[in-house]
């Protein structure tokens, strides 16, 4: 079992988070690094979606490992940062699947702020990578309140959670550029209305893009990889 790098981040109480976030984004622009902030409830499938995504990316020559790039020049270099309260379950899952990951521990905090994100990115050596995906703490409320400095925000809603979530957790949908509806493979077993979820999400944010996927079967994962790759290339130029 590979050793996981764990970063214990501390919140800077007096920081102006919006200012920190903007400064981090400028620094990401300079280093040509696209940071995607991935948020959802616990159990929506953030880690499973990342695992399925890594498979698609591998087929496109996007590197998620430190293997020597002697055979083909990687089209993009990607890393994952896992943020958890104090466990390393997800980072271990990623490592076991062969994806280079660092673990951020928030020490009980329910979200990451921009300065905590910066601490994690610096440990990661983010300037060497084109794409970093931050798996935020599983929470549909607090992470939406703190700009992490990411270039884009994405949220996952899984079918078993129900299509009413955009009505009940408005800020998450207001702040996200992309909504991924996951676990479409279990649609037959739940009263989930795909048209309603689109209607409710657009009500919160008319500009939000929406994709339907199943990390389990791979359905829709190519389209999700397309979206991330397109946004990454637009940012890094």
- Give me the residues that bind a copy of itself (CB under 8 A), please: 41-43, 84-87, 89-90, 108, 110, 137-142, 145, 158-162, 164-165, 167-171, 183, 185-186, 189-190
For the bound state, the minimum distance from the C-beta of residue 148 to a copy of itself, rounded and expressed in Å, comes to 16
For the bound state, the minimum distance from the C-beta of residue 224 to a copy of itself, rounded and expressed in Å, comes to 20
Burial label for 171, CB within 10 Å (0-12, 13-18, 19+), is: middle
For the bound state, the minimum distance from the C-beta of residue 205 to a copy of itself, rounded and expressed in Å, comes to 16
Give, in order, the Cα–Cα distances in Å from 107 to each of 9, 41, 83, 110, 228. Answer: 7, 19, 10, 9, 30
Task: Give the C-alpha separation, 168 to 174, whole Å.
Answer: 12
Which of 74, 160 has the CB closer to a copy of itself?
Answer: 160
Which of 28, 52 has the CB closer to a copy of itself?
Answer: 52
**Contact assessment for residue 110 and residue 96, using Cβ atoms and an 8 Å cutoff:** no
For the bound state, the minimum distance from the C-beta of residue 197 to a copy of itself, rounded and expressed in Å, comes to 12
Question: Around 218, how many Cα atoms within 13 Å sit in the side-chain half-sphere?
Answer: 5
Which of 4, 167 has the CB closer to a copy of itself?
Answer: 167
Which of 57, 173 has the CB closer to a copy of itself?
Answer: 173
Task: Give the C-alpha separation, 114 to 25, whole Å.
Answer: 9
**Contact assessment for residue 119 and residue 106, using Cβ atoms and an 8 Å cutoff:** no
For the bound state, the minimum distance from the C-beta of residue 169 to a copy of itself, rounded and expressed in Å, comes to 6
Which of 24, 39 has the CB closer to a copy of itself?
Answer: 39
Which of 141, 210 has the CB closer to a copy of itself?
Answer: 141
For the bound state, the minimum distance from the C-beta of residue 64 to a copy of itself, rounded and expressed in Å, comes to 22
């Amino acid at each position: 079992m590979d050793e996981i790098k764990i970063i214990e981040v501390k919140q800077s109480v007096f920081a102006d988070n919006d200012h920190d976030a903007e400064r981090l984004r400028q620094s990401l622009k300079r280093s040509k690094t696209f940071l995607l902030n991935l948020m959802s409830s616990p159990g929506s499938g953030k880690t499973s979606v990342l695992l399925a995504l890594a498979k698609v990316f591998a087929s496109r020559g996007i590197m998620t490992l430190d293997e020597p790039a002697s055979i083909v020049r990687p089209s993009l270099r990607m890393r994952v940062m896992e943020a958890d309260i104090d466990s390393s379950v997800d980072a271990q899952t990623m490592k076991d699947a062969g994806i280079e990951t660092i673990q951020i521990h928030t020490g009980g905090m329910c979200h990451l702020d921009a300065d905590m994100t910066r601490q994690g990115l610096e440990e990661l050596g983010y300037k060497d990578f084109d794409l970093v995906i931050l798996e935020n703490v599983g929470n549909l409320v607090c992470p939406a309140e703190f700009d992490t400095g990411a270039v884009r925000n994405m949220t996952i809603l899984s079918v078993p959670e129900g299509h009413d979530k955009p009505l009940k957790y408005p800020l998450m949908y207001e702040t996200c550029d992309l909504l991924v509806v996951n676990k479409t493979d279990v649609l037959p077993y739940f009263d989930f209305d795909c048209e309603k979820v689109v209607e409710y999400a657009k009500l919160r944010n008319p500009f939000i893009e929406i994709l339907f996927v199943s990390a389990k079967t791979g359905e829709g994962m190519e389209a999700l990889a397309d979206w991330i790759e397109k946004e990454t290339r637009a940012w890094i130029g």
